[in-house]
Structure 1
Amino acid sequence: MTDVFEQVEEEIRSERLKRLARNWLPIAGGILLVALIAALGWWGWQSFETSRAHAGSVAYQRGLEALQSGNTAGAETAFTEAAEKGNGAYKSMALQERAGIALTANRIPDAIRLLDEAAKADGDPLLRDTAVYKSALLMMDNGATLEDLEAKLEPLTKEGRPLVPFAQEALGMARLQFNKPAEAREVLVLLTLGQDVPDSIRQRAQAAISMIDAGVAAGLPAIVAAQSVNPPAAPAGPSPEQLAQAAQAQAGAAQQ
């Protein structure tokens, strides 16, 4: 009888194992299949982003070399290729270079449009905020309203953004341009108190505050207009080398 009981129990266990296998093996297989597809997709995305970064880098460098040699048409072609074939970082950088070419040719609306496109091309804060800042500078003397300028500049003044002092100065100048000295003074005072404000910006803010307090700030809009056409080198944001480092960093992140 003991042997019979053991045989029955063994058959019951065997039947349970079969039933478990029928119920769970398809689920386990499905989970493994999804994991495999996800891994392959991630690897494919990384490879795609790396190849785009390389293509953008080659075309972007070719554009810089064409600019240095005075070949504007060649530079425009190369930067267009970099924007089309490169990843987000190189697309943003290339569009900003094209905006510079348009500005040199006095095609201000085209320059503003290209900068706005560059701001949307990549999520890197340095690339994005630089494009927005440059666009706002050009808009100051080209029919923009104060509301348009504040909409672009105020987000750039928030804590943690990479171009806070530059954006604060531009915001103060925009408000002066629209005869809002009290509002301009508020943001300019922040520049005189900030810890990470470049000396040149701090000095300009102090001078502007002195003019506002003396009631002679009416002449400042003319200075703002001149700066918007020919932005000073210092507030123009990061250098091409810094922008290239940002793009390379993104490419490196895609490879990890």
Structure 2
Amino acid sequence: MADVFEEVEDQLRAQQLKSAGLKALPWIAVLLVVALIGALAYWGYDHFQNQAGAQASEKYAAAIEAAQRGDVPAAKVALTEVSQKGPPAYRALALMQLGGEAEGNGKNADAVKLFDQAATVAKDPILTDLARLKSAFALMDTAPYSELESRLKPLTAEKRPYRTPAREALAFAKLMNGDTAGARGDFVVLSLSQDATEDARQRAQAAMSLIDSGAAKSLPAAVKAAAALPPMPQGLPQVPQGPAQ
């Protein structure tokens, strides 16, 4: 008799499991459909991103080639298109190229806007910091020290990709602001830094010599006088903006 009851219980359990499975089947099907839609959506997005990246890469390369040929109008048209429609990295690169062109023509205010826009658009921290550094360089001759410090100081933190050139730019900003003691301290650190390039160390040593000779005291006035001059005619070599890396 006990065997009969056990067999009946087994049948009841089997029936309950079957009923539960039938009830769950629609939900399982829905979950599978959702998972499939998600996978297809990801594939489609990834495919779209790859296509957009390839198109932006071609247009960006064509713009650079046009600029190298001297066809600046065509280069600007292509770069403007990439800066508006491309993936974040190419948009940032195109904006920085446009900013460099504006800076080279003495339009520093326009250059700063373009560099700042590139920093906002870029998702990559290296491109973001590069755009911010370029923006600070474009302001070196005209902006007050407080603005330069607010832009450059965050870039000098540990592990930031352009820490050394940002520190050098900040040291020159102090020098132009008349803070020769603070600038000299920064240049001493730069001259001994293993992270700095040989050129950067040599510039730091030259700046220290300039400060020690007393000639640096006339630098702020000289910079202001140079900034007041009209832009150089297009086609002539342009003075580099900001300290080189």
Q: In structure 2, what residue type is equivalent to 1:176?
A: L
- 1:100-150 alpha-carbon deviations (Å, 9 max, x no partner): 2212332221111111111122122332222111111111223x2222111
Deviation at 1:33, TM superposition (A): 4.1
Aligned letter for 1:145? Answer: P
Q: Pick the structure with greater CA Rg.
A: 2
Distance 2:225 2:17 in 1: 82
State how 1:88-103 maps to structure 2 within 5 Å: 88-103=88-103
Q: Using structure 2 for the length normalisation, give the TM-score.
A: 0.83
Contact 2:115 2:134 in 1 (8 A): yes
Task: Note the C-alpha offset of 1:95.
Answer: 0.7
Unmatched tracts of structure 1, length 5 or more: 238-256
Structure 1 residues 230 and 127 mapped into 2: Cα distance closer, same or farther (>3 Å)?
farther
Equivalent position of 1:154 in the other structure: 153
Q: Which has the higher contact order (CA 8 A, sep 6+)?
A: 1
**Aligned residue type for 2:156:** T
What is residue 128 of structure 1 aligned with on the other side?
128
How far did residue 73 of structure 1 move?
1.2
Could you say which residue in structure 1 is the equivalent of 2:171?
172
- Number of matched residues? 234
* Contact 1:55–1:85 under 8 Å retained in 2: no
TM-score normalised per structure 1? 0.80
Comparing 124-133 with 70-79, greater Cα deviation is found at: 124-133
The letter for the 2-side match of 1:173 is F
Change (3 A) 1:22 1:66: same
Aligned counterparts of 1:225 and 1:172: Cα–Cα separation in 2: 20
**Preserved CA contact (<8 Å) 1:56 1:83:** no
Query: For the structure 1 residues 16 and 83, does the alpha-carbon distance in structure 2 shift closer, same or farther, using more than 3 Å as the test?
Result: same
Residue pair 2:184, 2:211 contacting (<8 A) in 1 also: yes
In structure 2, the gaps of 5 or more residues are: 228-237
Describe the shift of the 1:226–1:197 C-alpha distance in structure 2 as closer, same or farther (beyond 3 A): farther
| Aligned mates of 1:189, 1:26 — CA distance in 2 | 73
Identity %: 42
